Amino acid sequence: MQIGAPVEDATPASTTDDSVAVVTIDGNDQMKFNKSEIRVKAGQKVKLTLKHVGTMDIKVMGHNWVLLTKDADMAAVGQAAALTEDIQHIPADKIDQIIVHTKMLGGGESDTIEFEAPAPGTYTFMCTFPGHYALMNGKFIVE
């Protein structure tokens, strides 16, 4: 290093590289997600935003985005979630089958979560609002 040379500004690490997967998924008043498949790469940080693009109330048409473990039983999680009193509908007795989840949202709301992509494989995502998982589910693929 030259003595007297101007000090260069530190270059910030790029945040637009492959280390972050930015994902947006919508849920609507027709009880549908707008994506049935989400692909990310192993080792990526996932920044996922769920948007409820409808107008219905959380108590009538709430949506969340719940990522299940590889060996989870979606129907069992969905049925347990329907029995929970809490509006979040995250069943305490099935929490070991859930990797990560957003908040439950009503129309017009959104929530962003960040998590590390799990090991490569195919996972299931779902909405745990009572009665929604049969229509509101999809594959989360880690390549």
Contact residue for Cu ion among 33, 123, 129, 133 (CB under 5 A)? 129
Nearer to Cu ion, 136 or 142 (CB): 136
CB of 14 to Cu ion, least distance (A): 36
CB of 71 to Cu ion, least distance (A): 23
Asked if residue 89 binds Cu ion (CB under 5 A), the reply is: no
**What are the E-state strand segments in the chain?**
20-27, 37-40, 45-52, 66-68, 98-101, 110-116, 121-126, 137-142
Asked if residue 125 binds Cu ion (CB under 5 A), the reply is: no
Contact residue for Cu ion among 63, 89, 101, 103 (CB under 5 A)? 63
Q: Are 101 and 67 in contact (CB under 8 A)?
A: yes
Exposure of 70 in the CB half-sphere (CA atoms within 13 A): 8
Asked if residue 101 binds Cu ion (CB under 5 A), the reply is: no
List residues near Cu ion by CB under 5 A.
Answer: 63, 127, 129, 132, 136
